[in-house]
Amino acid sequence: MLERFRAFWTKVFSPVARFFLRLGISPDAVTVVGTLGVCVGALGFFPRGQLLVGVLVVTAFVFSDLVDGHMARLSGTSSKWGAFLDSTLDRFGDAAIFGGLALYYIGPGDSDLWAGLTLYCLVMGSVTSYARARAESLGFQAKGGIAERSDRLVAILLMTGLADLLNLSVLLPLTLALLALASTITVIQRILLVRGQARATA
């Protein structure tokens, strides 16, 4: 759903991409630094209960996911390696975000239930990505579903920040519950999509 806004944000960050290229910074370097920033922001602040600060730091580095790709296109260095590196490091970032929230619930959030739900969201996010990657490796298409990565990322960061800012702690577990459901449905949708394609080619 949120992929429709990618063109807009790419234009917004185009000057940044061009500036980095003039400095001789490579797209891969931006990918790595962006991932490190997300991991430090999530694992450094969420477990201590500093949710809003963590969200602001993570969000600042999340946009590197748009900058590095645009840099590669501008410099003519787009490659399968770059796509592989970007997708692989995205998993680290996602794990850090949900892992940091799980640690928050184990610590100051004090809820084994919500910690478990957060871990379920982490696992299902990985399964969602794996289902698509595995399908494409077999020649099928499994993109789509009601909760793609960008949707999940925006939802959890926005609601985590608002929960802390407005002191409405209920927002976070509610968002996690909805993401758990949406991720499960997305995995089922992708399984059924590949099943249909497999039957059509049998």
Walk along the chain (202 residues) and give the pLDDT tens digit of each residue: 445 556 666 777 788 888 888 888 888 999 999 999 999 999 999 999 999 999 999 998 988 877 888 888 888 877 888 889 988 999 999 999 999 999 999 999 999 999 999 999 999 999 999 999 999 999 999 887 888 888 899 899 999 999 999 999 899 999 999 999 999 999 999 999 999 999 998 7
Tell me the pTM: 0.90
CA–CA separation, 122 and 5 (whole Å): 24
Count: domains in the chain:
1
CA–CA separation, 1 and 148 (whole Å): 8
Asked if residues 190 and 131 have their Cβ atoms less than 8 Å apart, the reply is yes
CA–CA separation, 152 and 94 (whole Å): 10
* CATH number, domain containing residue 63: 1.20.120.1760
**Which structure tokens are listed for 158?**
């926005």
Asked about 90 being catalytic, the answer comes back as yes
Considering 28, 68, 90, 164, which one is annotated as catalytic?
90
State in Å, rounded, how far the first CA of the chain is from the last one.
31
Residue 176 sits in which domain range? Answer: 2-201
Three-state DSSP state, 103: helix
Which among 76, 62, 74, 73 has a CA at the least distance from the CA of 30? 62
Three-state secondary structure along 22-90?
HCCCCHHHHHHHHHHHHHHHHHHHHHHCCHHHHHHHHHHHHCHHHHHHHHHHHHCCCCHHHHHHHHHHH
